[in-house]
Amino acid sequence: MPIATINPTTGETLKTYAPLSDSELESKLALAEKAFAQHRQTSFADRAEKLLAAAEIFESEKDRLAWLMTLEMGKPIHQAQTEAAKCATACRFYAKHGEAFLADERLPEAEGRCHVRFEPLGIVLAVMPWNYPFWQVVRFIAPALMAGNVGLLKHAANVPQCGLALEELFLRAGFPPGCFQNLAIENTTVSRVIESESVAAVTLTGSVGAGSAVAALAGKLIKPAVLELGGSDPFLVLPSAPLAETVAQAVTARVQNNGQSCIAAKRFIVHTDVYDAFTRQFVAAFEKLCVGDPALPETDIGPLAQERAVETLEKQIHTGIQAGAKILTGGKRVPGPGFFFEPTILADIPTGDGFAREELFGPVAMLFRARDLDEAIALANRSPFGLGASIWTQDDAEQQRGIRELQAGQVFVNGIVASQPALPFGGIKQSGYGRELGVAGIRAFVNAKSVWMPG
């Protein structure tokens, strides 16, 4: 697809960008090599100072940055402002804790004087998606820069202005040219960048297909990779959960970011004792949601990011209906310009059908009835994905079972699954491998070098 800003609210193409030529790409790789040679020698204090400067820009200019997100991928403006501010928290987190996370580790019970030191690998390529066009990038680049690495960003083709804004922001924060560069390249060029001897590692957030292709190439080249892929997160509701509050959280968990989030709750698995009451309130809440211009503060759900996303949802819902699913509300595209889709709830979905295992990327919820906690956990785990899960109950024994038995990279108890700087973030199964954020995120692309000296 072309590298272009296409306003999803109107469908209008606002600006297009020519991809880098071969010589321009080679120049950027050379600049990254030069930058790494210098940046790796800088102190943690120097890197932290620059990350703190970046945090200040994210906060002071959050309205400008938010508007770019709303313009290019349709994020509701208040959510976009929150995303820009969240980027500041990640920069401050690694500025504060990065040095301690990478401090030399002394090894007990080892012969001689031994320790492990953590050294940067070099140039890290990030292939990033459009749905969180600033936060997804910052949770990679903040720890990478703090560790002494440098970054190359291949952003999604429909958010080119967000990519350019990020490069400019880190330059203004004081990072020298080449420490973080935006690459205006097409998907077909990604493999060439990964194959470059200059590039040491790769991280990707995106589809299972894209992750599989990058993983295969990185594996062939013996280069480390972190993959954060799709998700079909379960949201388990048990009888002791306060119903009204849980329904309100369920709605937010499904329609945040216009329903376009890997960690959005997608499968709502409700105990039979509260299923009917939950369903009535859930449907009523969906039908009250305001769908419209994402630039307006009252809008709950803006457009999907691309025309093809609407088409994909239409096909998936048609498949679900053929399999026996029932539409409780919504179910179709909103007439008129732009890429809008009705908030939709599907029920009576055959659990053994392939449709129940799909990821629906948009404001569409799948509702399941469970006889008891055993069946609820079994349904939750009957998925090729394992990114996040949440369990809603006041019973401590049920909470502990959910924590132990739900197959996911993160389990939230009575809370919506969310990423935050201190928590390692990632999945299992087809949701990927490796971790971002937390101490694991900054150690993802370093060399843990063992050092031995005679005692």
Residue 36 Cα distances to 45, 149, 220, 221, 376, angstroms: 17, 6, 24, 21, 49
As a whole number of angstroms, the distance between CA 413 and CA 313 comes to 29
As a whole number of angstroms, the distance between CA 91 and CA 100 comes to 15
As a whole number of angstroms, the distance between CA 19 and CA 192 comes to 14
Nearest to 453 by CA among 104, 120, 147: 104
Q: Which one of the listed residues 179, 262, 358, 436 is annotated catalytic? A: 262
Given a contact cutoff of 8 angstroms between Cβ atoms, the answer to whether 68 and 165 are in contact is: yes
As a whole number of angstroms, the distance between CA 127 and CA 366 comes to 29
**Torsion angles phi and psi, residue 85, rounded to 5:** -65, -35
Nearest to 138 by CA among 85, 183, 210: 85
Given a contact cutoff of 8 angstroms between Cβ atoms, the answer to whether 290 and 299 are in contact is: yes
pLDDT of residue 126: 98
148-183 burial: b if 16+ Cβ within 10 Å, else e: bbbbbbbbbbbbbbbbbbbbebbbebebbebbbbbb
Residue 254 Cα distances to 87, 119, 247, 362, angstroms: 22, 40, 11, 8
Nearest to 418 by CA among 383, 393, 390: 390
**Using only C-alpha atoms, what is the Rg of the chain?**
23
Give the list of residues 6+ apart from residue 434 with CB closer than 8 angstroms, or none.
Answer: 203, 224, 225, 226, 227, 228, 426, 444
Place of tokens 């994020």: 75
Q: Which one of the listed residues 72, 167, 228, 359 is annotated catalytic? A: 228
Give the list of residues 6+ apart from residue 452 with CB closer than 8 angstroms, or none.
Answer: 110, 111, 112, 113, 114
pTM exceeding the 0.85 threshold for the entire prediction: yes
pLDDT of residue 254: 98
| Neighbour tally for 190: CB within 10 Å | 20
As a whole number of angstroms, the distance between CA 381 and CA 250 comes to 19
Mean pLDDT split into 10-residue runs, the chain, 455 residues: 95 98 98 98 98 98 98 98 98 98 89 91 98 98 98 98 98 98 97 98 97 98 97 98 98 98 97 98 98 98 97 96 96 96 97 88 98 98 97 98 98 98 98 98 98 87
Active-site residue 61, yes or no? no
Active-site residue 262, yes or no? yes
| Neighbour tally for 424: CB within 10 Å | 17
As a whole number of angstroms, the distance between CA 243 and CA 291 comes to 25
What is the layout of strands, in order, in the sheet containing 410-413? 326-329, 344-347, 364-370, 265-271, 233-237, 388-392, 410-413
pLDDT of residue 108: 82
pLDDT of residue 291: 98
pLDDT of residue 63: 98
| Neighbour tally for 414: CB within 10 Å | 15
| Maximum distance among all Cα pairs of the chain, rounded to whole angstroms | 76
| Neighbour tally for 30: CB within 10 Å | 12
Q: Are strands 150-154 and 180-182 parallel, antiparallel or unpaired?
A: parallel
pLDDT of residue 9: 98
The one-letter amino acid at 350: P
Classify residue 270 by its DSSP letter: E
pLDDT of residue 167: 98
